[in-house]
Amino acid sequence: MAPKVNYLEKTWININDADEVAFWAKRFHVTPKEIVAAVAHVGKPVRYVEQHLEHKLLKKS
């Protein structure tokens, strides 16, 4: 059995890890596709992705 990963301790998002993408999608209330698109747009740092998604949600309001 693989050890449980604490994704909250990570500073980068690995879009090649489906479990990690699913974790961040749930955390930010978006789809996995939106996580992948955000990483493609702003890069892998979690804080960049979070800021991008927050900005995107604000624009929808």
Asked if residues 24 and 7 have their Cβ atoms less than 8 Å apart, the reply is yes
pLDDT of residue 58: 78
Per-residue model confidence as pLDDT tens digits over 7-58:
999 999 999 999 999 999 999 999 999 999 999 999 999 999 999 999 887 7
Dihedral angle sign, alpha carbons of residues 32, 34, 40, 44:
negative
Phi, psi of 15 (to 5 degrees): -75, -5
Examine the pLDDT at 6 and tell me if it is beyond 60.
Answer: yes
pLDDT at position 2: 58
**What are the Cα distances from residue 15, in Å, to 4, 36, 47, 48?**
18, 6, 15, 14
Task: Specify the pLDDT at position 3.
Answer: 61
pLDDT of residue 1: 57
Q: Which residues contact 54 (CB under 8 A, 6 or more apart)?
A: none
